[in-house]
Amino acid sequence: MNADLLIESLASMDSYKRFGKISRVVGLLIASKGPESSVGDVCIIHLKNGRQRIKAEVVGFKDEEILLMPYTSVAHISPGCLVEATGKPLEIKVGDELLGQVCDSMGNPMSDMRFSKGFEMVPTNQEPPDPLQRPRIKEAIELGIRSINGLLTVGKGQRVGIFAGSGVGKSTLLGMIARNTSADLNVIALIGERGREVREFLEKDLGTEGMARSIVIVATSDQPALMRIKGAMTATAIAEYFRSKGKNVLLMMDSLTRVAMSQREIGLAVGEPPTTKGYPPSVFALLPRLLERTGTDINGSITAFYTVLVDGDDLDEPISDTVRGILDGHIVLDRSLAQKGQYPAINLLKSVSRVMTEIDSKEHLMAAAHFRALLSQYTESEDLINIGAYKQGSSAAIDAAIQYHPKILSYMVQPEDVKVTLDQSINQLEIDFGEGGKPDVV
């Protein structure tokens, strides 16, 4: 840097530190008289013991006070504690060294790993790519799961929701995708998980093979609501960093519902009115802002899978309905199929990939349509068939559905430790359900 630039930088530098004082704490919310800050800025609370400092974020204003939410517990905060303004939002360190690491919501590795000089500082909250600069999705991505590869083909840069109740196999499905995908790396966000389930997912579902090419962000359910939201933001920012380097990234977030519930906690705490079934407006503003950050840009792509917890398997509750309208497809896991022993328990008739017609061949699409038609016909007539009320020969369509049904079940079921490539999935589908396919004789 030459002397003129150095003098100019020094002249523009703000040499003052701005402080405020804590006036009250109500629940999760901290109110402070000053300092001058903007919404989203990070502030540092200096505790009176003189040693501890707590980071908090400005979430709103009321009268003469700024409203803060801490990244940790509010314990030990007392009236009169100094609040220091940093003047900038939260930034995280990102670099290639993160690969294979488990990090907290602030992007700090939970192991003894230390960053070298090769890292970059990136803000957790960024703008989505310009919609006019987004390349179209034209290439399929390998996921290793036959039913998704063949019947719900996902493209590089597509955003997909996995909708299911609890205990229907979401984590197992994510683990299979992480181990078998053709993406350059995985970024996995575990938001609001039970502490017990984190290690179980890492060792059982993800495994050594998947962990070696993954970055895992963990924000457990006992952490403050703001930390859970920051976990989702941090994971997305890390994925964006690698996309900017020309990588094809696979982002998986489990679960988006808990991100929305965290924002509900914050919104209600700052005084927002509960509108749709108890969710304040800020929840429905956050979701598109977060989800639109993924996808394609001029450098690379982020293919994203977001799990959505469906209360009572109700797909029309507010969060499910909103997310389904934003994403480029959805995969529904059905409890009734899981109870029958079908894994992955994908309800094909309720699932859709909105870019499948753009990336698949005509022959593939025809075979997939034939598969859906046969499955739909069998599902509609299943009760009649099971009680013996259907007489063979009454309907050619039902007869065909019955004859093809063993092949349909065989195609949908896949053991957890088996990988089926995209080409294998498409070839089997076209052979069994294409124009030359023959039904099994019953």
User: What stretches of 245-305 show up as alpha helix (H) in DSSP?
Assistant: 256-269, 281-291
Neighbours of 333 (CB within 10 A): 25
**Domain span including residue 421:** 363-433
Residue 266 lies in a domain: yes
Please tell me whether residues 127 and 51 are part of one structural domain.
no
Residues 95 and 28: beta-carbon distance below 8 Å: no
Please tell me whether residues 292 and 410 are part of one structural domain.
no
Please tell me whether residues 57 and 108 are part of one structural domain.
no
List residues bridging with 331 in a β-sheet: 162
Length of the chain: 442
Helix H or strand E encompassing 21: strand 19-26
Q: Which residues, 6+ apart, have CB-to-CB distance to 54 below 8 Å?
A: 44, 45, 47, 70, 71, 72, 77
Residue 194 lies in a domain: yes
Measured CA distances, 370 to 44, 102, 108, 399, 435 (Å): 61, 43, 49, 14, 9
Residue 438 lies in a domain: no
**How many domains, in total, are found in the chain?**
3
Residue 14 lies in a domain: no
User: Which of 97, 119, 93 has the alpha carbon at shortest distance from 106?
Assistant: 93
Residues 106 and 146: beta-carbon distance below 8 Å: no
User: Which of 359, 379, 344, 364 has the alpha carbon at shortest distance from 162?
Assistant: 344
Give the residue from 359, 379, 402 where a domain finishes. Answer: 359
- CATH number where 60 lies: 2.40.10.170
pLDDT at 437: 66
Give the residue from 359, 384, 408 where a domain finishes. Answer: 359
Gap between the Cα atoms of 49 and 308, Å rounded:
43
Kindly give the confidence (pLDDT) of every residue in the chain, 442 residues in length, as a single tens digit, with 9 standing for 90 and above: 566 766 666 565 555 677 899 999 888 889 999 888 899 999 999 988 766 888 999 998 888 899 999 988 877 888 889 999 998 999 999 998 899 999 999 998 887 767 667 788 999 999 999 999 899 999 999 999 999 999 999 999 999 999 998 888 888 999 999 999 999 999 999 999 888 889 888 988 888 888 999 999 999 998 989 999 999 999 999 999 999 999 999 999 998 999 999 999 999 988 889 887 889 999 999 999 999 999 999 999 999 999 999 876 677 789 999 999 999 999 999 988 998 889 999 999 999 999 999 999 999 999 999 999 999 999 999 888 888 888 888 889 999 999 999 999 999 999 999 999 999 999 999 999 987 666 654 4
Please tell me whether residues 198 and 283 are part of one structural domain.
yes
pLDDT at 442: 44
Please tell me whether residues 140 and 229 are part of one structural domain.
yes
Return the beta strands (E) in 221-341 as ranges: 248-254, 295-296, 301-309, 329-332
> How do beta strands 185-193 and 91-94 pair?
unpaired
Residue 13 lies in a domain: no
Please tell me whether residues 268 and 180 are part of one structural domain.
yes
Residues 58 and 37: beta-carbon distance below 8 Å: yes
pLDDT at 62: 86
Please tell me whether residues 66 and 126 are part of one structural domain.
no
Residue 160 lies in a domain: yes
- CATH number where 225 lies: 3.40.50.12240
Residues 81 and 49: beta-carbon distance below 8 Å: no
Please tell me whether residues 373 and 269 are part of one structural domain.
no
Residue 142 lies in a domain: yes
DSSP assignments along 136-205, one per residue: PP-SB---S-HHHHHHS--BTT-EEEEEE-TTSSHHHHHHHHHHH--SSEEEEEEEEE-HHHHHHIIIII
Gap between the Cα atoms of 416 and 46, Å rounded:
50
DSSP letter at 385?
H
User: Which of 112, 121, 116, 94 has the alpha carbon at shortest distance from 187?
Assistant: 94
Please tell me whether residues 113 and 66 are part of one structural domain.
no
Helix H or strand E encompassing 353: strand 352-353
Residue 41 lies in a domain: yes
* Residue 294 tokens, joined: 């993924």
pLDDT at 110: 86
Please tell me whether residues 77 and 163 are part of one structural domain.
no
Residues 58 and 77: beta-carbon distance below 8 Å: no
pLDDT at 384: 86
Please tell me whether residues 144 and 293 are part of one structural domain.
yes
Measured CA distances, 260 to 73, 265, 287, 319, 375 (Å): 20, 9, 7, 8, 34
- CATH number where 422 lies: 1.20.1270
pLDDT at 128: 93
Please tell me whether residues 235 and 324 are part of one structural domain.
yes
pTM here is 0.91
Give the residue from 73, 89, 105 where a domain finishes. Answer: 89
